[in-house]
A and B are shown apart, each in its own frame.
Chain A
Amino acid sequence: MSYLEALRLALRRLRTNLLRTALTTLGVIIGVASLVALTGVGEGTQAAITNQIAGLGTNLLSVNAGASTIGGVRGAAGSASTLTVADATAIGQLDGVQAVAPEMSVSNVVVVNGRSNTTTSMTGTTPAEATVRNYQVQTGSFLTDLDVEKGLRVAVLGPTTVTSLNTTPAAIIGQTITLNGIPFTVIGVTQPKGGSGFVNPDDTVFAPITAVQSRFTGAGALRTVGVSLTDPTQLAYVESEITSLLRFRHQLATSASDDFSMISQDQLLTVASTTTATIRNFLVGIAAIALVVGGIGIANTMLVSVRERVREIGTRKAIGARRRDITRQFLVEAVIVTLGGAVVGVLIGIAITGPVGATVGVPASPTLYGITLAFFSALIVGVLAGWWPARQASRLDPVEALRYE
């Protein structure tokens, strides 16, 4: 029996058991569609996180103040007041360093503009911040060297902060707002970076580090120094330079551990992509389980089908069907169900990837990788699920099969 004949036979059989065929196919459709959709969502998550990290700055190396240890209790990283503006300036003189932005953070700053107010975090920094952290200004200008030198009370706002104040970037330029009651003049608004989560780069206030130092904390300690490199391949060299420099400046004994830490954007990306890859694999794994369950459904239906058709199998053997003819008949039936399910499942998967991504807040689109993976996994599942029942059918003893009631 040719494959064409087996196909005709299988289609006829599937038509006569339409409901059963539909239900069996549904298992495959769900498996394939979720595989396509979840792969798309997984990839979308990865892309979103990668973009967000890339948006934080270019060739970035963050030097963080170390943890303070008071009475044997180790505080959080950055809690020690070890990094100073002078440290930042010294780092700026090292080889391979393009720009350095000392960052002095003040959290929970109440921003008041007329009758509107909001609470956000403030960073006291220098003009280099724009380069190091990859900020663009959409209206007005960023901080200037003069602002820092004179310690002027000027501020650059993030777009989210502007929105929180119920105003627009154009309207707020030149306005005087108060930060914890201290008046500042708004000179610029940054471009949105599209971030989300607990550290939103769009909900922030930048002010000259000198102004922040004198008006807010006054201690002169930095939480972070942002360093951008001239050449990203020199990362390790620059890191070792900074380590030696800071250890010397902080007069650490050889046995003492660093009172600061460094993380590069590359390391951050690696950590993030490892995490997102785990998430993606987890999603794909769930979808694969759905597909396997679909395959078990097929195997089950095929076994029932073989059981129901024992006499037919016996008859077919009596009229000249060989083992391989019987195997082919049942295998083709299983493969048709999976193929049909795979095609419909891929279409549905493509259709739902976007909406599924939207519900979890990730821009997702179907990937060729996901579609190919889903389609061929389904095909393999179908062949495996159909193979065993088909073999059972082909091995039936014709005499027994003909006698079967």
Chain B
Amino acid sequence: MADPTVVPTAPVQPPLIEGRGLTRVYPMGDSEVAALRGVDFRIELGENVAIIGPSGSGKSTLLHILGLLDRQTSGPYLFAGVDTDTLDDDRLALLRNRAIGFIFQSFNLVSGESALENVASPLVYAGVKRKERVERAEEALARVGLADRAHHDPSQLSGGQRQRVAIARALVTRPAVILADEPTGNLDSRSSADVFTLLQQLQAEGLTLVTITHDQRIADRAARILRVEDGLLVEEGAAAPTYLDGGHPLDPTAAPGYPRPGAAVGPDVVVPPVSGLAALGLGEQDAT
């Protein structure tokens, strides 16, 4: 014990995602174009956040930076308390693999590979053995209601089914956060409703969900809306919060949560603030 006089207080869990004054500037010939012009935000574990804004406002750029696919020009971006500027490309790939799940507007499934193989592909990069990969991919496919389509090629599936396969692929690594870029943008209204319901269920089970959307229903369902306009976060307010299970998204104990190795946090669990990556089960793991 270092100092017995100090009463141990509840440790502070760093926010999952935190950006301070983020900018992103693209060189355009001789001049420069600023897609982001100083953006501050925090997203906690378990939150449901919608990012809205007109085309060209910089919201895709923001999502790419959040997803560690792009690097900001300035301003620190902290993922689970770790400054991402200190991480090399391999480390970022590892984080994308273990802590982040992506859902794209155009699904981005690999044709020529079955639904099961598509879902299992992140686990290949995670170095998971084949048998376990298949088990986990089947489990994820069952979760999105496509257990019977496991051996179909994406070309044999409907748009809604493809997006559900993509959701299963995002889920299979049990990530801390799912980043969805217009997940219903290419779907008809019925499929879009399916995908929307599925995402809401997953979020209600404790998954952190950040969605770029034009879909008003998704935005309405989000606990918070970040409006990006002209490279700035011009509005940050809570929408009418409706939760499937009534829990508050900011309270990680409210929902049992989608299983995340090392991410279980509660009043009794001591998670030192400096080792946010360790909390996600990534602290000392080497790139494999």
A interface residues, Cβ below 8 angstroms from B? 1-2, 5, 9, 12-13, 16, 311-312, 314-323, 325, 398-399, 402
Contact = CB atoms under 8 A, between A and B. Distances in A.
B124 interface: yes
Given A315-B104, A317-B96, A322-B94, 16 more contacts: A317-B69, A317-B93, A318-B96, A318-B102, A318-B104, A318-B108, A319-B96, A319-B122, A320-B98, A320-B122, A321-B97, A323-B90, A325-B125, A398-B69, A399-B69, A402-B69
A314 B108 CA distance: 9
9 contacts: A1-B127, A2-B127, A12-B117, A312-B110, A318-B69, A319-B122, A322-B93, A325-B125, A402-B104
Leading 4 A-B pairs by shortest Cβ distance: A320-B97, A16-B112, A319-B122, A315-B108
Nearest to B172: A319
A231 B227 CA distance: 102
Contacts, number: 68
B64 A399 contact: yes
B245 interface: no
Contact of A319 (B64, B112, B117, B169): B169
A314 B126 CA distance: 17
Nearest to A324: B90
B85 interface: no
Contacts of A318: 67, 69, 96, 102, 104, 108
A402 B112 contact: no
A13 B117 CA distance: 13
Contacts of B287: 322
B70 interface: yes
Given A311-B108, A402-B108, A320 B126 contact: yes
Interface in B109-131: 110, 112-113, 117, 121-122, 124-127
B148 interface: no
B125 A319 contact: yes
Interface string B227-241: 000000000000000
Nearest to A17: B112
B173 to A, nearest CB: 8
B96 to A, nearest CB: 5
Interface string B34-60: 000000000000000000000000000
